[in-house]
């Protein structure tokens, strides 16, 4: 049973923009902190951004000022708006939903930034 469904990845040129979406079931979304992680080839998975139920956000230093995370409770969806993309942003991006007792991961969506 798929709990998190990601979409929006693709190929974009340096300096371009993309929007990632992650749709969750209502039960999961309302109870969870939502986050985006990424994993580049040969590297460990790293946190990109997170947003708690109250809306407070947190960003990796590498994406501050370029990426924005938001959540839409009406749609049970979390977004990652990515601007001024760089080649080093190329990775598989994963959505994560977590609470004190449960963790869910999405299947990942590929983002490729070409120069």
* CA separation for the pair 39, 21 (Å, rounded): 17
| Per-residue DSSP letter, 101 | S
Give pLDDT tens digits for 81-90: 999 999 999 9
Enter the tokens of residue 77.
Answer: 């969806």
Residue 50 CB: number of other CB atoms within 10 A?
19
Give pLDDT tens digits for 51-73: 999 999 999 999 999 999 999 99
* CA separation for the pair 26, 16 (Å, rounded): 32
Give pLDDT tens digits for 97-112: 999 889 999 999 999 9
* CA separation for the pair 102, 112 (Å, rounded): 30
User: For residue 1, how far is the Cα from the chain centroid?
Assistant: 20
pLDDT score recorded for residue 1 = 64
pLDDT score recorded for residue 25 = 85
pLDDT score recorded for residue 83 = 98
Enter the tokens of residue 78.
Answer: 């979390």
Enter the tokens of residue 20.
Answer: 């990632």
Give pLDDT tens digits for 2-46: 689 999 999 999 999 999 999 998 888 888 999 999 999 999 999
Which residue carries 């080839």 as its tokens? Answer: 41
Structural element, H or E, at residue 27: helix 26-31
């Amino acid at each position: 049973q798929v709990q998190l469904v990601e979409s929006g990845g693709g190929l974009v040129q340096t300096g371009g923009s993309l929007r990632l979406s992650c749709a969750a079931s209502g039960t999961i979304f309302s109870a969870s902190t939502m986050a985006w992680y990424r994993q580049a080839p040969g590297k460990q998975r790293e946190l990109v951004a997170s947003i708690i139920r109250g809306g407070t956000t947190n960003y990796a230093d590498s994406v501050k000022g370029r990426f924005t995370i938001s959540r839409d409770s009406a749609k049970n969806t979390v977004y990652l708006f990515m601007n001024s993309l760089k080649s080093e942003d190329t990775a598989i991006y994963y959505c994560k939903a977590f609470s004190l007792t449960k963790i869910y991961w999405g299947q990942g969506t590929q983002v490729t930034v070409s120069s």
